[in-house]
Amino acid sequence: MSPVRVFQCSRLEGTVYLPGDKSISHRALLLGAIAQGTTTVSNFLPSGDCLATAGALRDLGIEVVLPDSHTAIVHGRGLRGFRCPEKPVNCVRSGTTMRLLTGLLAAQPFESTLTGEEQLLRRPMERVASPLRQMGAHICTMNGYAPIIITGQNLRGACLALDVPSAQVKSAILLAGIYADSPATLLEAAPTRDHTERMLGAMGVNIDIRESKGIREITLIPPTHPLLPLEIKVPGDFSSAAFILAAALLAPQSRVRIKDVGINPTRIGFLDVLYQMGADIRIAGERIMANEPVADLEVQTSELEAVEIKGDLVVRMIDEFPILAVLATQARGRTIVRDASELRVKETDRIATVVKELKRLGARIEERPDGFEIWGPSQLRGIPVSSHGDHRLAMSLFVAGLVAQGETVIDDLDCAADSFPGFLTVMQSLGAHYVQY
């Protein structure tokens, strides 16, 4: 754990490419493992979380090769190719790894245990175990938390309404549904990210999606043929782009272009909010990559206004609240976030930790049960702060450090590599100044 000292920044400028999307990289590995043949993933995200998925798959007998720092090759063994793991499978700090694997393992003919680091053992797992049980799965959690013990079963189809608007829960059900004896249908009131549906469709799985009266109905027909392996290039991660966008909006006289960013509509609620705040961001060269929409984003320094965020929009920007809070400290007026209590069960309680650390920097921010309120603009002052080991908070505090007067010392930025390895190098290439001990 090495502290980083960040200095106030006068200008950010340049063009950057970002590492691949985290959600898509996880799914490419997991689905590649059950495809029949070799899946090649370029612009793969070699982050702590995605490497946890690679490690877990190796424990399950799947060969995953990383020939260079941004390529993954998965030697898929088909729907029934997993090997019974010899020890508990370590999902490290990755919620996506643990929840999606729970769905896959629920249908395998062996018993397996999923565990992880302390941070992950504090996150709720009944949300995924409970709907899977309705499909016949045999899953034990420890009072709702991991370690999770899964005894594989023959699964049945079911019609399930998602209680928690979570793409991880939805994906776990869809992965289990591949193995069920009849179709599985899911009803989603707030649309969550749909990368699993897109990738399954590209692999030849029959997946039907309709929308009526604001409810999305997703039906997966269990395949009777092997899943097709894919050759995909992963789009840049919009959730990583969010930090660059915020930094360029706040640092004076900045102009930054971010190439090949995923702009899947289920992921870019933060962009909608930025436009509402008055951000100058241009979307250029829209195209399709790996069955996902991508574009280049061009951003310039902008005067920002406060916003109110609530309802379904929260789901479409669930990982962007720490950085939104930093922006709101510099926006004119009162920013209000409601309906976001889900933030309390992420890597940290992201309502409590964001409020605590931004207060230290001099922000006028108050905690609410389901969000926070921020009054801006306020001059932030550099001081020692803590990321609490949460990658998104760490990167948000770095961006806050770029606008704070003086020096901001962040106790641990290594955790940024859970989702955005190379974050500091990218920021430095744009003109940010920092010292790492």
Ligand X SMILES: O=C(O)C1=C[C@@H](OP(=O)(O)O)[C@@H](O)[C@H](O)C1
Q: How far is the CB of 126 from ligand PEP (least distance, A)?
A: 15
* Choices 163-171, 275-283, 322-330, 357-365; region in contact with ligand X by CB under 6 A: 163-171
Q: Say if residue 392 carries a ligand binding annotation.
A: yes
The item of ligand X, ligand PEP, none sharing an interface with residue 266, based on CB under 5 to 8 Å by kind, is none
* Choices 89-97, 157-165, 177-185, 257-265; region in contact with ligand PEP by CB under 6 A: 89-97
Number of residues that bind ligand PEP (CB under 6 A): 9
Interaction of residue 21 with ligand X, rule CB under 6 A: no
Interaction of residue 196 with ligand PEP, rule CB under 6 A: no
At 116, is the secondary structure helix, strand, or coil? coil
Contact predicate 403/391, CB 8 Å: no
Picking from 55, 102, 63, 97, the residue whose alpha carbon sits closest to that of residue 81 is 63
Q: Each residue of 406-428: b (16+ CB within 10 Å) or e? A: ebbbbbbbbbbbbbbbbbbebbe
Q: How far is the CB of 303 from ligand PEP (least distance, A)?
A: 29
Contact predicate 22/262, CB 8 Å: no
The item of ligand PEP, ligand X, none sharing an interface with residue 49, based on CB under 5 to 8 Å by kind, is ligand PEP
d(CA 6, CA 18): 21
Say how many C-beta atoms besides its own lie within 10 A of residue 252's C-beta: 10
Distances (CA, A) of 104 to 40, 79, 405: 21, 10, 49
Say how many C-beta atoms besides its own lie within 10 A of residue 69's C-beta: 10
Residue placing its CB nearer to ligand X in the complex, 319 or 373: 319
User: Please, what sign has the CA dihedral across residues 176, 178, 182, 187?
Assistant: positive
Interaction of residue 167 with ligand X, rule CB under 6 A: yes
The residue with tokens 């699964």 is 155
Q: How far is the CB of 347 from ligand PEP (least distance, A)?
A: 6
Interaction of residue 102 with ligand X, rule CB under 6 A: no
Say how many C-beta atoms besides its own lie within 10 A of residue 282's C-beta: 11
Cis peptide bond N-terminal to 147, omega within 30: yes
Beta-bridge partner residues of 293: 288
Q: Binding string to ligand PEP for residues 364 to 393, with x set by CB under 6 A, is what?
A: ----------------------------x-
Q: How far is the CB of 234 from ligand X (least distance, A)?
A: 13
Interaction of residue 60 with ligand X, rule CB under 6 A: no
Interaction of residue 348 with ligand X, rule CB under 6 A: no
Q: Which residues inside 36-65 make contact with ligand PEP, applying CB under 6 A?
A: 49
- The DSSP line for 333-369 is EEEEE-S-GGGGGSSS-HHHHHHHHHHHTT-EEEEET
d(CA 272, CA 416): 25
Q: How far is the CB of 411 from ligand X (least distance, A)?
A: 22
Residue placing its CB nearer to ligand PEP in the complex, 319 or 373: 319
d(CA 373, CA 8): 25
Residue 172: both structure tokens together: 């776990």
Q: Which of 171, 240, 396, 419 binds ligand PEP (CB under 6 A)?
A: 419
Q: Which of 112, 119, 166, 387 binds ligand X (CB under 6 A)?
A: 166
Interaction of residue 266 with ligand X, rule CB under 6 A: no
Q: Which residues inside 290-319 make contact with ligand X, applying CB under 6 A?
A: 318-319
φ, ψ of residue 5 to 5 degrees: the values are -105, 120
Residues with catalytic function? 319
Binding site as annotated, residues for phosphoenolpyruvate = 22, 95, 123, 168, 350, 392
Q: In the complex, which residues of this chain contact ligand X (CB under 6 A)?
A: 23, 95-96, 166-168, 171, 193, 318-319
Binding site as annotated, residues for 3-phosphoshikimate = 22-23, 27, 166, 168, 319, 346
Q: In the complex, which residues of this chain contact ligand PEP (CB under 6 A)?
A: 49, 94-96, 319, 346-347, 392, 419
